Amino acid sequence: MERFTGQGASPGIAVGPAAELADEGQAAVKKHVDDIDAEEKRFWEAQSIAAAQIEKIRDKALKSAGEHEAGIFDAHRMLLMDEAFTREILDTVRREAVNAEYAAALACDKFSTVFSRMDDEYMRERAADVRDVAGRLIKVLGCGGEEQNIPEVPSIIIADDLSPSQTIQLERKNVLAFVTRRGSSNSHTAILARTMGIPAVVDAGVPAGAGGRMAVVDGSRGSIVLDPDEETLEKAKRLKQAAEDRRRELSEYKSLPAVTRSGKKIRVMANIGSLSDIDAAIQNGAEGIGLFRSEFLYLEGRTCPSEEEQFLAYREAARRMDGKKVIIRTMDIGADKQADYLEMDREENPALGCRAVRISLTREDIFRTQLRALYRASAYGNIAVMVPMIISVWEVKRVREIMGEVRKELEKEDIPFRNMELGIMVETPAAALTADDLAAESDFFSIGTNDLTQYTLALDRQNAKLERFYDPYHPAVMRLLKMTCDAAHKAGIWVGICGELAADVKMTEKLIGMGIDEMSAASGMILEIKKAICESR
């Protein structure tokens, strides 16, 4: 039995087999080869294995998603077997006497660049397909043809790190817990784990090769036990039972309104990252969706989601919430949430770079597509729009202008829609300090305390070494919260909080005292928050 510790990132107990997940990328290090014939043979074998993998994925997509999605993998197989692509790789192997991985990486760079520079949008999008296919080939060459071990049975996922896009693509039913050797409890992946209700430990000292061993994970205490003895297993079972008993105790709050003892009503909403999170929101008595992270629609695929794909997702959310408010945040891509197909310039400090609304206002074609989908879905429920990373009044005004232009387009096309509230996220000191001006242009505020804390304290919340300095209760953060609430109420608009502070029941009464009207958090925390509100003065 071995014990390891890390940072508890998402509460809960998990018991099950560990599955080691390899890094997303496979390094294509340049190596000299003496036997060219043997290297060519290795390439042909890898190409055959990669083709079989793609065929397997295609069959799965056909059963689960339909012919259209399966067609994507038909195209991938054609790219993999393409004569020009194959010839480029083999010519490099022969000419430079280098390994096939390196030759494939060079071919990928060449072909993806050609596609990305084409005038036709469809052809530009094929650059991402080239990168995907080449990446698969490089992985096969590098790991002997084994598929990256996405678990097919319920498992505890162990990895060096997990990107949000990796996390969202895992089969949730097969994920008992996350354990990463890097990362921060304030990262988006940790937040996603909390949204999904999955125990998670980050910055953990678990050794490589833990896959296949039985494990116990305590996401509250940040502990991992490999090869647990009977006593440890029994203790884990008791803790799981205690958590289930606690959930039963809280169930009485599911149908109750969240009202303080002095009579103030607070709306308690759910944060979600995908449609699959809605069931948990409903089961826990959410009064609506306070944050639908639409960016995960962008992270799940290899190309920008189409208007139709987005419309169907937003419409489904609106329908399933049956008239309750669904606040959809426009895409918050950037920082640790990267979509390669957007081909953004590499930035020294992406947290301060082109992200969120800055992408929306510099890549208006992408933003307009999202707004069209949102407006079309608004005809089927109670949808509101929320824009992240606003720092200036002109940004809100420009967003409103674009929304107006989109409405006119839809009117001309005789497409039904409803007017939607436009809110902004207050997550920078600039927004909080000018909240009175921003309130005049907004229908509501939602405070993102995670980024607000990061930017106020000049501290990277992704950096695990800075955990002890990350203080969401810092007086400066508290003053900005109060300032934002006062400005919102003075302008006659409501203010919510959708950052992790909303789930901190020790802060519930203080947040209510500041003037917070709505709290939105991971579904698993809704009943705890309701209880805390009902017990507040």
69 annotated as ligand-binding:
no
Angstrom distance (rounded) from CA 459 to CA 88: 46
Cα dist from 160 to 1, 138, 178, 204, 290, whole Å: 21, 20, 11, 9, 32
Angle of helix 121-143 relative to helix 67-81, nearest 10 degrees, comes to 70
Query: So which residues are the catalytic ones?
Result: 188, 498
Contacts of 158 (CB under 8 A, 6+ apart): 18, 19, 20, 21, 179, 180, 206, 210, 211, 215
**Size (the chain), residues:** 537
446: closest CA among 426, 421, 432?
Answer: 426
SS (HEC) of 226-285: ECCCHHHHHHHHHHHHHHHHHHHHHHHHCCCCCECCCCCECEEEEEECCHHHHHHHHHCC
Residue type (1 letter), 248: R
Buried b vs exposed e over 120-152: b needs ≥16 C-beta within 10 Å?
A: eeeebbbbbbbbbbbbbbbbbbbeeeeeeebbe
Neighbouring CB atoms inside 10 A of 322's CB total 9
427 annotated as ligand-binding:
yes
Q: What stretch of H or E contains 39?
A: helix 36-64
329 annotated as ligand-binding:
yes
Angstrom distance (rounded) from CA 64 to CA 61: 5
99 annotated as ligand-binding:
no
SS (HEC) of 107-163: HHHHHHHHHHCCCCHHHHHHHHHHHHHHHHHHHHHHHCCCCCCCCCCCEEEEECCCC
451 annotated as ligand-binding:
yes
Contact (Cβ atoms closer than 8 angstroms) between residue 477 and residue 497: no
SS3 content of the chain, % helix, strand, coil (to 5): 50, 15, 30
User: Cα Rg for the chain, rounded, in angstroms?
Assistant: 25
3 state DSSP class of 104 = helix
307 annotated as ligand-binding:
no
Contacts of 80 (CB under 8 A, 6+ apart): 47, 50, 51, 54, 133, 136, 137
Q: What stretch of H or E contains 69?
A: helix 67-81
Query: Which residues sit opposite 519 in a β-bridge?
Result: 268, 497
- What does the DSSP 8-state code read for residue 19? E
228: closest CA among 240, 217, 239, 243?
Answer: 217
Structure tokens at 46: 């890898």
Pairing of strands 422-426, 382-387: parallel
User: Would you list which residues are annotated within the binding site for phosphoenolpyruvate?
Assistant: 293, 329, 450-451, 461
User: Would you list which residues are annotated within the binding site for Mg(2+)?
Assistant: 427, 451
User: Would you list which residues are annotated within the binding site?
Assistant: 293, 329, 427, 450-451, 461
